């Protein structure tokens, strides 16, 4: 019997169907010489300090640093996990061969590796490595199973990452909490979390320190074209008025007129970070939610594996592209021109040297049904249009530069005109979504003749200098990808990915952790450092802990472990050395106590709400439309302007009756605490916390 271990029950069912293992057993499926079982993601985790020594359960500066001689793993404390592991353990003992069918990536390799290690697996092991869950991909994957040893370096890199995060996270968090937490605040420190926070804090300080200044610019209109004076901004209104008087005394003269035709390159295919950036810009989706939606599309077989960091396709995929395009029925009008001739095998799209574990995210040949939720449809549309756009011709443009003068003051105007839409044809429907900046760039410029002169309409534009912009999730993800460096060029950004901080699959979780720790908060789309987050970064003197560049170097070493160019043990020893040095420095150093300022008012609010015998809904703003109040009805709490807004929360959700306090938490905090007793959830979940989704629908997590 061959044993297949998938990462989720749904994936196990897809694999079992292809293999003919159709007999359901308790915790696995069986048939045709195969048993197919599953984990629930992580079944195992690294042991905690008190697992090595019970006294380490209590936080004490004198016990730091905590460096286990050998790191061990343990099962998560959960009855369902324990039961499923026993099933896997017995199947491992009874089988003749194991096939690792975990998610094909570093995290998937660690999840399965720990389970097999805990189960004492000594059987021959092979690896299923696929980029989509379609029947064709699974069949092809089983025809090309690889020896598990080929992925040993991937496991070593993932394990080294987990050990490194444990060493730094456990020790630094206890160290700073006991030294600067004042006995009240837990100060969470992380290998990626802290330098990410440091970037936000640094930006916040730049904004806070910025001194806004007025400035004046000379402009003029000649033949309906606005020209800008090609001189430094003026720092006083008096100088601007003098300049304006001077301009009124002279005619406008054209010095040069130049039109250059050029091309705009096609956008690149999506990796996970680029998809999260685009979804945040267009729809305001958080990185975490975008990952959730695209993961769901992957499990429904509509897109390929999403946790990727490349924007290229394998060259072997080239023959399959026409077949995928033909199945994308929603986009027939865009695809028809492509299928009239062979798809070009461009190096900008197909390049084996740029593909690592997986290729870029693209649609599969299984089109989505109408049953997708709105957010999934939006994410699929982004992926589908990008896939189509890369095969269109480049966009042809003309750039116009006109230079002139008024007296001795030089002026210039620029304009851009699209001559042939090319790939932009795919996005014509999004014309209304263009930014004001893009619209302003497209000034229509008539033909000018060198030497022509004429009257003009000079004027003064007064403006104010602007501080740096706050990070949004989109710009923060890009900054994490490039270790804090501002990089606009796509090719340069691609080269810097090896030194980015975090991995595409973990960056969303890092941002959410900063929210949970109350180190940052969101104001509209902007990410703002709280006073606690700023104080924490100010307290950390060691640059290794908060430098994006240095953390990027660690990420580079982890990738080298993955490719066999660096020893995992050496990485571990470097971190142990750093933890020792950091511990001694902080123990003997000085600093002020940090308080979690944001926690106090929430505690008071909770106490006050307990004293109220009745919640007054009419005093609360509707979280969706924000322009109306709430009202309590017979079966739900809803918006007083329900016909237009549509917001409501029923008293009973998924078969569980909610208290008014739980509904209040859902409305004001966006989520409840962990609840039990759900009886009618579509995925048979019986416990979890309720939260409001992007479209203000209630979700069980």
**Catalytic positions:** 305
Distance, in Å, from the CA atom of 417 to the CA atom of 641, rounded to the nearest integer, reads 45
For the chain, state the CA radius of gyration. Answer: 30
Token pair recorded at residue 157: 């890199």
What strands lie across the sheet with 214-222, from one edge to the other? 453-454, 252-264, 395-406, 409-420, 225-229, 214-222, 457-464
Per-residue b or e along 199-208, where b marks 16 or more CB atoms closer than 10 Å to that residue's CB? bbbbbbeebe
For residues 362 and 311, give the distance between their C-alpha atoms in angstroms, rounded to a whole number. Answer: 10
Four-residue CA torsion sign, 634, 640, 660, 522:
positive
User: Hey, what are 115's tokens?
Assistant: 């389970």
DSSP 181: S
Alpha helices in 53-151 (DSSP H): 79-94, 106-118, 135-143
β-strand 409-420 against 2-6: which pairing, if any? unpaired
3-state secondary structure of 254: strand
The 3-state DSSP class for residue 182 equals: coil
Q: Which structure tokens are listed for 652?
A: 């009973």
CA distance linking residue 163 with residue 68, whole number of Å: 10
Q: Which residue has the tokens 């926070």?
A: 197
* Cβ neighbours for 295, distance < 8 A, ≥ 6 positions apart: 306
Question: Distance (Å, rounded) from C-alpha 163 to C-alpha 157?
Answer: 10
The number of CA neighbours under 13 Å toward the Cβ of 677 is 7
420 beta partners: 396
Six-digit token string for 304: 């390929």
Question: What is the distance between the alpha carbons of residues 299 and 296, in angstroms, rounded to a whole number?
Answer: 5
- Work out the burial of residue 59: count CB atoms within 10 Å of its CB; fewer than 13 is exposed, 13-18 middle, 19 or more buried: middle
């Amino acid at each position: 019997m061959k044993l297949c271990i998938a990462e989720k029950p749904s994936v196990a069912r897809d694999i079992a169907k292809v293999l003919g293992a159709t007999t359901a057993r308790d915790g696995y499926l069986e048939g045709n010489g195969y048993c197919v079982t599953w984990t629930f993601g992580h079944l195992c985790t690294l042991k905690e300090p008190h697992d090595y020594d019970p006294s380490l359960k209590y936080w004490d500066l004198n016990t730091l640093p905590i460096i286990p001689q050998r790191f061990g793993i343990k099962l998560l404390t959960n009855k369902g996990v324990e039961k499923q592991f026993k099933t896997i353990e017995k199947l491992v003992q009874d089988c003749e061969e194991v096939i690792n069918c975990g998610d094909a990536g570093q995290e998937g390799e660690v999840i399965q590796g720990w389970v097999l290690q805990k189960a004492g697996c000594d059987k021959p092991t092979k690896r299923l490595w696929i980029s989509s869950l379609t029947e064709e991909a699974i069949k092809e994957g089983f025809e090309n199973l690889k020896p598990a040893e080929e992925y040993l370096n991937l496991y070593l890199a993932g394990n080294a990452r987990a050990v490194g995060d444990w060493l730094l996270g456990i020790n630094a968090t206890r160290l700073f909490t006991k030294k600067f937490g004042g006995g009240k605040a837990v100060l969470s420190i992380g290998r990626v979390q802290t330098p990410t926070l440091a970037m936000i804090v640094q930006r916040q300080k730049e904004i806070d320190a910025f001194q806004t200044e007025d400035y004046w610019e000379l402009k003029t209109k000649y033949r309906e074209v606005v020209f800008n004076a090609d001189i430094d901004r003026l720092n006083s209104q008096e100088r601007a008025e003098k300049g304006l008087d001077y301009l009124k005394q002279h005619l406008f003269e054209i010095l040069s007129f130049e039109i250059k035709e050029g091309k705009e390159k096609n956008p690149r295919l999506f990796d996970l970070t680029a998809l999260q950036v685009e979804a945040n810009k267009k729809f305001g989706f958080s990185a975490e939610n975008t990952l959730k939606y695209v993961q769901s599309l992957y499990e429904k077989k509509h897109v390929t594996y999403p946790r990727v960091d490349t924007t290229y396709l394998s060259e072997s995929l080239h023959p399959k592209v026409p077949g995928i395009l033909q199945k994308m029925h929603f986009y027939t009008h865009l695809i028809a021109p492509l299928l009239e001739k062979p798809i070009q095998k461009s190096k900008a799209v197909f390049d084996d040297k740029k593909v690592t574990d997986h290729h870029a995210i693209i649609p599969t040949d299984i089109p989505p049904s109408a049953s997708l939720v709105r957010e999934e449809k939006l994410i699929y549309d982004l992926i589908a249009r990008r896939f189509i756009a890369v095969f269109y011709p480049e966009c042809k443009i003309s750039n116009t530069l006109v230079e002139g003068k008024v007296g001795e003051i030089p002026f210039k105007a620029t304009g851009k005109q699209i001559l042939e839409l090319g790939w932009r044809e795919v996005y014509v429907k999004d014309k209304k979504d263009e930014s004001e900046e893009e619209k302003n760039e497209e000034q229509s410029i008539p033909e000018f003749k060198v030497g022509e002169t004429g009257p003009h309409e000079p004027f003064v534009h007064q403006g104010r200098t602007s501080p740096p912009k706050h990070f949004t999730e989109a710009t923060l993800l890009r900054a994490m990808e490039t270790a804090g460096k501002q990089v606009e060029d796509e090719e340069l950004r691609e080269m810097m990915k090896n030194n980015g901080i975090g991995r595409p699959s973990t960056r969303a979780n890092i941002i959410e952790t900063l929210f949970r720790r109350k180190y940052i908060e969101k104001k509209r789309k902007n990410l703002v450092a709280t006073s606690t987050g700023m104080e924490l970064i100010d307290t950390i003197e060691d640059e290794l802990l908060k430098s994006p560049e240095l953390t990027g170097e660690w990420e580079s070493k982890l990738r080298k472990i993955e490719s066999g160019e660096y020893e995992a043990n050496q990485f571990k020893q470097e971190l142990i050395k750093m933890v020792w040095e950091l511990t001694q420095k902080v123990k003997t150093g000085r600093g002020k106590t940090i308080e979690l300022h944001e926690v106090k008012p929430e505690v008071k609010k909770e106490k006050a709400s307990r004293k109220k015998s009745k919640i007054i809904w009419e005093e609360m703003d509707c979280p969706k439309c924000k322009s109306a109040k709430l009202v309590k009805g017979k079966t739900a709490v809803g918006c007083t302007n329900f016909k237009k807004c549509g917001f409501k929360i029923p008293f009973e959700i998924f078969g569980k009756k909610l208290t008014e306090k739980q509904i209040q938490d859902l409305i004001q905090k966006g989520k409840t605490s962990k609840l039990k007793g759900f009886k009618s959830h579509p995925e048979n979940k019986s416990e979890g916390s309720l939260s409001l989704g992007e479209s203000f629908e209630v979700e069980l997590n």
